[in-house]
Structure 1
Amino acid sequence: MTPQAVEALFTRGDGRYLFARWGRPIAPVVFGVAEETLATVKGACEAVVALAGHKMAETDPELGANLMVFFFREWGELLETPNLERLVPDLGPLVARLRVAGANQYRFFRFDEGGAIKAAFVFVRMDDELSTLPAETIALNQMVQTILLWSDTAFTDRGPLARTPDGTLVLRPEIAGVIRAGYDPVMPAMAEDASHALRLAARMGAVQ
């Protein structure tokens, strides 16, 4: 990928560059799915975390679970989830906006003092569109989009996944490269200057 293409992945709709990765091991919990789907979601999380060279944990010492994934049918169900409004600010207005927009997914992040990701909340509304997709596709897509703080426009035109000629679901190689470079120990956990994209592109070249 060119440095410009990498920069676009972390340049938000308002023109601001912002990169962040997880600063602590990821301790996931999944709500609203059957046991077999739970294994699929956690398997996708393990695969993406391994790709990044990051770590998982059974629990987070501060939060218990720091990656919460919710599957549901209607946005209003979130308002019935006990204590969720304490974790996600302005939950009521957020649900109202997502409902009006007809959204089927949303990700909310919390950050530590250094700007690294310390928690994420993934909301997936299983509408008619998502209900036609295999569980592995949904799970892998969500985990890829949660492992880094991508731009809100990063995957508008093209998602992070692809299928090989034999139908196997895979992560696009260039996106995998960005994830690996983003978690390189020499790279910062958070960056707000677009020059960071040049360093990411250089790290991708070094790995290849």
Structure 2
Amino acid sequence: MTSALPSQDQPPSLSAEDVEALFVRGDGRYAFARWGRPIAPVIFGVDDATLTIFKGAIEAIAQLASHPVDEVDTELGANLLMFFCKDWSELREIPNLDRLILGFSDLLAQLDRTDANQYRVFRFGEAGAIRACFVLIRMDESLASISAETFALNQAVQLILLWSDKAFLETSPLGMVGSDRVILKPEIASVIRAAYDPVMPAASNDVSHALRLQARMTRPQ
């Protein structure tokens, strides 16, 4: 999966305004957060081959961010839980999932009503950093038509940071190289690297944070 990442010598092409847009939510708030603890993933509802692909994608993006991935989270056991299903109602049968996700029953009803095929729920620590993430995926025809490698990389990118809810609605974080190779776009890779720079805060609601991110992106790697 590491071959799906761009090289570090490819310069970013995002302005500060472009970076800002990646973290400004639909209600106009700037909201940025990165993981504050090692990521410990557990994935339900896929076969062993697909499990390997998804864990490989998560590890590749975490490596890009220079952020650790562990087998176990010392506090939660697992802090990244991904659930795959064919129908949202299947998730009601998973023990204690309704205790992990606030308003779980209403959320499933909304996802079913809007014909959604994926949803991410983040939890945050006291300092605002990401503490846990729950990813719900309904494998409809559109998702089933995407290769496992591409889908896994896309999911890994979207959970490594708290992006805007509008960030990738119109443009994918992935791009094509040639006719058959999908990679993470260099500019998005640069945002991730800059976001995990130790000098940057783990969370911010100040729009000036985007200026600092863009400045880190233009520094030599």
The TM-score range, normalised by the shorter chain, is: over 0.9
1:1-208 alignment runs, 5 A limit: 1-207=14-220
Distance between the aligned counterparts of 1:163 and 1:71, measured in 2? 26
SS of the residue corresponding to residue 37 of structure 1 reads helix
Runs of 5+ in structure 1 lacking a partner?
A: none
TM-score, normalization: structure 2?
0.93
SS of the residue corresponding to residue 207 of structure 1 reads coil
Runs of 5+ in structure 2 lacking a partner?
A: 1-13
Give the counterpart letter for 2:122 in structure 1: F
Distance between the aligned counterparts of 1:189 and 1:53, measured in 2? 14
Distance between the aligned counterparts of 2:26 and 2:179, measured in 1? 36
Distance between the aligned counterparts of 1:159 and 1:101, measured in 2? 21
Distance between the aligned counterparts of 2:171 and 2:120, measured in 1? 18
Q: How many Å apart are 1:119 and its aligned residue?
A: 0.3
**Number of matched pairs:** 208
Deviations 1:2-52, CA, capped at 9 Å, x for gaps: 000000000000000000000000000000000000000000000000000
Report the identity percentage.
59
Give the counterpart letter for 2:74 in structure 1: P
Distance between the aligned counterparts of 2:193 and 2:155, measured in 1? 17
Moved over 2 A (4+): none
